[in-house]
Amino acid sequence: MQEVTPVLQDVYDPASQEYCENPAPQCQALYNSGRFVYYEPWGAWCMTQLDDIMQCWKEEYLSSDFYDWEFAPPRPPEADWTNFERCMIGHSLLADHDHHLLIRKIAAPAFSRNVVDEIQRRIEPDIKQLFDDLGKPDVFDYKSEVAQHIPFISITRLIGVPEKYWDAIRPVVRNFTDTWNPTLSDEVRESARQECNIAVDIFKEMLAERRAAPQQDDVLSILLKAEEENEDFDEWDILTLILALIGAGSDTTFTFQQWTVYSLLKHKEQIATAMASHDAFANAFSEVSRWGVISKMGFARYAPRDMEVCGQQVKRGQMILMMPHLYEHDPKYFPEPQKFDVTRTFEPDIRFGYGPRFCIGAALAKRQMYLTVSELMNRFPNAELDSEPERLANETSIAFKNLMVRTNV
């Protein structure tokens, strides 16, 4: 077993402005620091090599359960569980490996191609309305005027949340990921959990109403039918899944919306290629994600016991970050890595994960992004960046303060 020399902030500091302006050199430095390195500022291990990450994704030998983290709040007794804890501990998508597989199997029809087509039909008018409301300004902020609204539109339409509940669940869609974010304070995490507790009560009410008046063709209806047909799939599984959709589908969509528009407007000569078909767009989207180095921490896992991982001894509860974005700047895999090229080949394409936890919303995510960017380009075919956006260092991904677009209408 090798001696571990911790990686320090002067090698990799994603909270720095320097990283935000140009993350690739720091990613390369961390990638070259070793296969499995301890990053002292986060108190976490970083898994840097793609083969190891793919194996970890596939075999799931580490825990995805936040409560297994050494710094997580203590796991409370069942009698005291809040709504949030009942979803995250009791019937968790995250905690129990076999139950997770079962939920994925049962829920799969709710995320099929047909359902995504149907959801597209529903969100299209919302997206058009968003642009109608925008009108024809000379310049507008894509972040606040468009991107910010897309996660809410697509998640409410995906689940089939009636409009009367929209205001009440808006804060959860906005803040859910704060519930577990290790870089935030306990107070902020707790406040986000309280919002979830309220939202779960609303979702319960919504389920009761839907049982009394069933519909046919949205995710909720499919899940309620699955509940009827499977004794191992109950209301808490549905509630957990709803929270998981909100958790995994909001910040990702918000950030990637902005990066897609930014990258394409910065490389206008590639827009036609990127938008030529859904497949071309999916590829372009992978390049946006690679080139923008949007993820900072990668994907968190926790050691379920004292164990050896990638040749190093790891203690129970330690956080292990799978960081597939690091290898994407290695010229061995991506020639001229600093160049943006929507026709690059991604084999494998790990944008949406891999294995049993492959992103359940991948098809929807790409579809909603394609729809929004198409609408933008249809309305403003000569759109361009009005200015280079200011980048915010203190966020979990590289975020823009705003994204000013000049319409040139």
| Contacting positions for ligand HEM (CB under 6 A) | 93, 104, 155, 158, 244-245, 248-249, 252-253, 256, 299, 351-353, 357, 359-361, 364-365
User: How near is the Cβ of 247 to ligand HEM at its closest, in Å?
Assistant: 7
Q: CB-based contacts of 12: which residues, under 8 Å, 6+ apart?
A: 19, 26, 27, 29, 30, 33, 39
Contacts 24+ apart (CB under 8 A), 246-249: 246/155, 246/172, 246/173, 246/176, 247/176, 247/177, 247/179, 248/359, 248/360, 248/361, 249/151, 249/154, 249/155, 249/158, 249/361, 249/364, 249/365
User: How near is the Cβ of 124 to ligand HEM at its closest, in Å?
Assistant: 16
User: How near is the Cβ of 299 to ligand HEM at its closest, in Å?
Assistant: 4
User: How near is the Cβ of 93 to ligand HEM at its closest, in Å?
Assistant: 5
Question: Tokens at residue 54, please?
Answer: 């793919």
Which residue number, 171 or 353, has a Cβ lying nearer to ligand HEM? 353
Which residue number, 94 or 407, has a Cβ lying nearer to ligand HEM? 94
User: How near is the Cβ of 252 to ligand HEM at its closest, in Å?
Assistant: 4
User: How near is the Cβ of 365 to ligand HEM at its closest, in Å?
Assistant: 4
Which residue number, 198 or 359, has a Cβ lying nearer to ligand HEM? 359
Which residue number, 157 or 193, has a Cβ lying nearer to ligand HEM? 157
Neighbours of 347 (CB within 10 A): 5
Contacts 24+ apart (CB under 8 A), 187-191: none
Residue least distant from ligand HEM (Cβ): 361
Which residue number, 71 or 358, has a Cβ lying nearer to ligand HEM? 358
Tell me whether residue 255 is exposed, middle or buried, using C-beta atoms within 10 angstroms of its C-beta: 0 to 12, 13 to 18, 19 or more.
buried
User: How near is the Cβ of 356 to ligand HEM at its closest, in Å?
Assistant: 7
Which residue number, 62 or 377, has a Cβ lying nearer to ligand HEM? 62
Which residue number, 13 or 395, has a Cβ lying nearer to ligand HEM? 395
Q: CB-based contacts of 235: which residues, under 8 Å, 6+ apart?
A: 204, 207, 227
